[in-house]
Chains A and B, each alone.
Chain A
Amino acid sequence: MASPEVGISAYELHKSYPAGHTAPRVQALDGLSVEVEAGTIFGLLGPNGAGKSTTVKILSTLSRAESGIAEVAGIDVARHPERVRRVIGFVAQKPVTDPMDTGRENLVLAGRLQGMSRRDAAARAAELLTRFSLGESADRLVKTYSGGMARKLDVALGLMNRPQVLFLDEPTTGLDPEARAELWAELEAMAELERMTVLLTTHYLEEADRLAGRIAIVDHGRVVVTGSPEELKDGLHGDAVIVELADAADAPDALPLLARIPGLGDVLVEGRVLRGRAASGAGALPQVLAALDGARLSVASATVARPSLDDVYLRHTGHSYSEGAHS
């Protein structure tokens, strides 16, 4: 069997930005490599500043890498940016609509700039407005749209030219939970209807888990691990055991006690929270509590959880997701 077609490939991308007159340059990408099979949804997951948006900007021809090779739909982005631009859709992190045009005008203009005829652009715009349930607001100015409606129109703009590769940079950031859930459903339906490759960046673990067939966790400008969400979770072998101490000062004493418990591995400490992994979390927990009690260290809470992407993230970056997101 022939190897599956490659939608996006990036190899050893480097990119830095000036940080000020005296500060050293910020290394946004530090050898990032990623490969996406054509026709699939791929999630780039990581906190703000990890390098996700920079990757999307290079792949969509907006920005250039200092070194490395990237191809989109088989076209080299550095050598033939104008050819890449004909086959991609780009939905930036910021709104990509013109607020002083109507929804329909935004779509038709985008289609015509992509080279569609007036008639094709009008037909495609009408189709997308209906599909994204924006038909009733089609001829209202976008500045009157709610955040959720405007974001759906952003995605529709990216789809106007029936792209082979669609870039969605943090599509649901800033939306309320209801609008986010609605957009997720729209994106799932879109993936069914249009055969294309989608590169989705997100800092929501839940979003990557739900939408992406495969994900890559990005940290400090590099991909630290790639796989399907299930593979990554299975790779953790067992349950997470999480103990919150009453006093953070006890953490250095607690860590060696937990590390000594048979069957409990990967023990890490963050503030007053200790985490470990065990084949059977329910079996390990009583031993953990007994060891801490024996040393007179008081426990505020204890939890056993099935592995989540948060645990995958912790395992591969050495810091928990919420901590990384704030750094």
Chain B
Amino acid sequence: MTTITAPVVHTGLLTARQLRAFLRNPAYLLINLVQPIIWLLLFGQLFKAVVNIPGFGGGPDYLTFLTPGIVMMMALFGSAWAGTTYIQDMERGVMDRLLTSPTSRGGLIVATMLYQAVLTVIQTLVVLGVAWLAGARFDGGAAGILVLLLSAVLLTFVFAAFSDAIALLARQQTALIAISQLISFPLMFLSSAIMDTKLSPDWVGNVARFNPVEWAVAAGRGAMQAAPDWAGVWGHLGLLAGLVVVMTALATAAFRAYQRSV
């Protein structure tokens, strides 16, 4: 095996390992499928009336507006836990074994990102299906859905790599709980995921411009319109892709910090 193909092969092998563990835990699979449905229907009912607020710019049907927001919320909340695999490997000697073998560090990071992306795609398709059954209609067609999936996957990559880095630096599950509580929730509410930011105070809209969750929501929701603003959509996707590269590099570098601590 040459050094060029080794990281690719390692990524595939390690992604397959996580998918095997996932498929062996049917309860986890069920939770992952039920959770997005609950969020979608709960928020959909709870905030149904916001479309009647004067100045709401998200169209006449709240469920249609909400669906891309719930997709990104699931991507965000799910990927914040990506580092759990590393915590488990560190609690055992698995991480130490991998790091004393020629296993690609980049492959270890990218494998958790890909695994989370698979979960995100499954959840996104479930959310779309349930939303459609509940009456939401999307004008963007297949292209819109593909861009929505791409946005969700890029957002997943960003936060999965971030979660991996935190896991390697803090080496404790409590640190991952802190990210999901302290970072994920504010990031979700400081975006247009469930509410049009035009109706929020100005500062929320200003902060949202720098929020990767907002980039993903704007790209996904934008692409599902009848006449998408493609320049805006690709601009947001470009920002997300850039952040994916930065986060992946940071997470890979975090292995050095981990090895200094052992």
Contact = CB atoms under 8 A, between A and B. Distances in A.
Contacts of B259: 62-64
B201 interface: no
Given A60-B100, A62-B100, A114-B101, A97 B94 contact: yes
A90 interface: yes
Which of B9, B17, B100, B103 gathers most chain A CB within 10 Å? Answer: B100
Contact of B17 (A60, A94, A98): A98
B262 A98 contact: no
B262 A63 contact: yes
A18 to B, nearest CB: 9
Nearest to B9: A112
Interface in B18-41: 20-21, 24-25
Contacts of B100: 60-62, 85, 88, 90
A86 B262 CA distance: 21
Interface residues of B, number: 26
A115 B107 CA distance: 14
Interface string B93-106: 11011111111000
B92 A94 contact: yes
Contacts of A60: 100
Chain A interface, DSSP helix/strand/loop, else mixed: loop
Nearest to A158: B97
Contact of B101 (A57, A90, A97, A99): A90
Contacts of B13: 109, 112-113
Given A62-B262, A115-B1, A96 B96 contact: yes
B102 A86 contact: yes
Of listed B13, B89, B102, B262, residue having the most chain A CB within 10 A? B102
Contacts of A99: 92
5 contacts: A92-B93, A95-B94, A105-B17, A105-B20, A154-B93
Given A82-B102, A100-B25, A115-B1, 7 more contacts: A64-B260, A90-B96, A90-B101, A97-B92, A114-B102, A115-B6, A161-B101
